[in-house]
Structure 1
Amino acid sequence: MAKTGGSARAVPSPGLDAVDFALDRGSPVPLYYQLAQQLEAAIEHGVLAPGNLLGNEIDLSARLGLSRPTVRQAIQSLVDKGLLVRRRGVGTQVVHSQVKRPLELSSLYDDLEAAGQGPTTEVLRNERIAATADVAAALGLAEGAEVVVLERLRRTHGQPVAFLRNYLPAGLLALDTPRLESTGLYRMLRSAGITLHSARQTVGARSATPDEAARLDEKEGAALLTMQRTAYDDTGRPIEYGTHIYRASRYAFDFRLLVRP
C-alpha cells in the first residue's frame, strides 16, 4: 500500500505491493527524496529484490498520487546510485542493493556474506615477490624481503564490486588459491591461529583507469573508493597490507561518529 497525505492507494505491482510507502506531504523533506529513501530501504532490506519491476513513470505517478517529475527525480537518484536501471520495453527494474560496510576490522567477504550479498572470489594472482619499499615499510620488513601478493576480484550477485590486492609476509600461512576462492582471507588467518587485533586504515576516492574500469565493469573515469589497510595481530606484528578499490556505484563505507567529551 502507498500512503500519501493520510489516504491509502493500492500499488498492484509484483515488487511494489510488498512496500508500505508513507509519503508525508506536509513535511519539509521533498517528496521525491522521501520516495527515493523508501525505495532504497526496500531494496536494501530485500523487500524489492534484483529483477523486480517498478513499472513506468506514468503508472507510478498515478499509483502514488505524485507528479511525473517527482517520480522521475526519485528514480533517477537511484539509477545514479546503481540500484535501479531503465530498460527499454521493460520499465524500471531493481538491479542490486549497494553494499554498506562498517569501518571496522573485518573482512569484505564476511561483511558481504552477513549482508546476504552472495560473495564470490576470483583469484587473479597468488605468488611470492620481493617487497617494494612501501610494502616492506608497511609490513616491518627489509626492502626486497619475500612476501606473498594476492590479487582478487570480489563479486556480489555475479557483478564485480571490488578489486583487492594484499601483501603478507612469506611463510605466514598457506594461501592456496582454491581456498581463497571459497572463503575470506581473514577467515584463513583466524583458522591458522592468527588473532587480528587492530589496523591502520586510510579511505579515499579517485577516478577509474581504463584497466580498472574494464575489470570492474565501469566506465573509464567512474568514481572509485580506495582503501589502504595494515592489519596487526595481538602481538603488534604487521601481518597484512592491503590496497583495495571499490565501485562507488555499488559500495559505501558506513561511519559511526562519537562526540568527544
Structure 2
Amino acid sequence: MRVAMASAAARRGRVNEDFTAATATAAVLVDGAGIPGSAAVCRHGVAWYAVRLGGSLLGLLSLHPDRGLTAVLAAAIEQVTAEHRDTCDVADPISPSAAVAVLRLSGDRLDHLVLGDAVLVLDRCAGAPLVVTDPREVVIARTYESELAGKAEGSEEYRRILRELRAHRNRPGGFWVAKDDPKAADEAQTGSCAIADLSGAALLSNGASRIVDRFGLTDWPGALAVLAADGPAAVIDRVRQAEARHATAADDATIAYCAALDEA
C-alpha cells in the first residue's frame, strides 16, 4: 500500500491538532477537538491527545493484526487515558477528545473504522465511492448555530454555549468521540470490503472534507481524482482558497490517501 499524506494547521503559528500516520498495511487519522478552557482541566492539550492516540492506534494495529478495529480503538483510548488520568480531569466534558478514522489491510480485505466526524472514502472500481462518517455531531452542532451567531469568540457566553454543546459527547442521544471512555469505540462505524473491488481510499479530517461537504467545490469522485492526480496537498490548497473567498475561519486540515492497496 502506498500512502501520501498532507496536513496543515488552521493558520500560521497555531499548533496543528490533527495527526496522521501509516504503515505498509494500516493508516490512521486523528482529528483532535477541544474548546476554550480545556487547558484548565488537561495540562497536555489537544495536540498531545491526538498524537498519543494516533501513535497508540498505529502500534496496536501492528502488534495485533488479528484484533478487531473496535477493540484496537478501545485499547488505544484506554492507554492514552491512563497516561494522563493522574494529572488531568479526563472525565470533564471539555477535556481533549478526537474523531478517528482507521483502515487496515487484512488478507484480501480492507477493514475500516470511523468514530466522530472524520471522513473515510473508499474508491470503488465499480460504482460511486463509499463515504463513511458519523453525522451525529454535525446534526447536534447545527442546533447551536443560532445561539453562537453574534457571540464574540472567546467570550464567556461563547464558551458557555460550547461547553453545553460538548456536554452531549459520549452519551446516549448525543455524539461519540474518542476521549476517556473506551466504550465509545462501540459506537464507531465499521465495515470491510474486498481489496479487489477498490482502487484507493482516503482518510480526511473535517477541515479537509470541506472541499465537498461544506464548499461543494467538487463531489467525492472529483475529490478522489484530485488526490490521485495531484496529491493531498492540492485538496488542502483548494480548501484554503475557498475559506479565504467565503471569509470562513480555517480549520486544521489533514488527508491520508492510500493507493496500490494490493501491494501490501
Which has more radius of gyration?
1
Identify, as 1 or 2, the structure richer in strand: 1
Provide the TM-score with structure 2 as the length reference: 0.25
Identify the structure with bigger relative contact order (alpha carbons < 8 Å, sequence gap 6+): 2
